[in-house]
Structure 1
Amino acid sequence: MKLNANLMSLSIYKNYSKTLVRQSNALKRISSGEKIMSSKDNPHGLAKSELLRLQIRGLDVSSKNLQDSNAMLQTADSAMENINSSLTRMKELTIQAGGTMSLSDREIIQKEIDEIKNHIDTVANNAEFNGVKLLKAEGIKDNNNPKQLINTSGANVGDVIHIPLYNLSLEMLKTSKGDLSKGVDVTKEDNISNSLEIIEDISKMVTSIRSKYGAIMGKTERIAENLSEFNILNQGAESRIRDSDVAEEILTYSKEDILINASTALLAQSNRFPQDILRILENVK
């Protein structure tokens, strides 16, 4: 038996120190909600978690991009609906002009038609979204070859969606029968039939573009739904890797607390061993 080195107390203290560390770590995991607080805790898990977080953030941004794209397409569709309604009215007036023999009546009708033309041009010029001209894209010589706007639609390389931008200003509304600006002239009786053909062809063109936008809107909505599902799955996977089980950590904390209290009691008792031995030796004669 040794008096100067209380090995029992040292052993108890060693276990006591380890218990304190474990309890402290459990408390940190409870307060932070994370079981990986540094790379040393789980290097491989931390790497996987960071990749998942990167993916999650990318999906969040892509979802916002898709929402913006859909809002932009809805704005363009609303403007084209206005143009379609204007063309319908123009067709009604042209048919009306074909039923009158009076030049003065046709001239009055032509004035309203000209006003509708200007209205169509104004709608095309003013249709904007976040500074982007939706129906008067620059650099387009032919609406059969629209300008392509590329927007991200996912968190990975190559996840993009192409949105065509057209020019539906008055100067670009042309068909093989003529252009809407000058070709539609009901003041000349023999031009009414050709004017109707031009209006109908332009209406078909605008309707075709609206159909394309409608298809793209449906596609963006489906992609957004898929991104939302992927994001939930990624968040679940990241949570399983990184988030702490609070109930389990509370149990660990409570267990370590019991051990600390027991170690404290044992330390107090073991620290008295040398004095108790000395007292015993004092009584030895």
Structure 2
Amino acid sequence: MTIAETLTGVTGTGFTDGTYYGSISLDSAADIEITGTSQGLADAGLTSLGNTTTTIDQVNIETRQGATIAISSVDSALAQIDSMRGDLGAVQNRFESTISNLANVSENLSAARSRILDADIAQETSAMTKNNILQQAGVSILAQANQAPQLALSLLG
């Protein structure tokens, strides 16, 4: 299969020096292999071409290249796992914080409800009435105490 694409007015493999941007989509019922010379890879700023979705069961580790690809695939998988674990750890921390906060709110609401339900309304009403009577009696006594010195002064004067 040969691909001929026109880029900036140049057809086929005779590209002039320069940088070209675009995308190519390859669809085939057969396997598609992309290869290049080491000089071509270096010119493109690459060290190797490969399939980023390589799985370990697809790699022949009997060769140096296969073992290198397997190690690279495992490293990539471990990096993805580390990234996912970090993301999941952050989510787990947020969940734990939310759970702790909700447990605290629940405990506070339960304590407030308990204090409200445990109050004996009759006893609290009688205690309030008693305190009001004592307060009024205290005010009356102070008023009488203030009048006694004035009475003595009026008798002298």
The alignment's TM-score, normalised by the length of structure 1, stands at: 0.23
Say which structure is richer in helix: 1
Considering only CA atoms, is the larger Rg found in Structure 1 or Structure 2? 2
The alignment's TM-score, normalised by the length of structure 2, stands at: 0.40
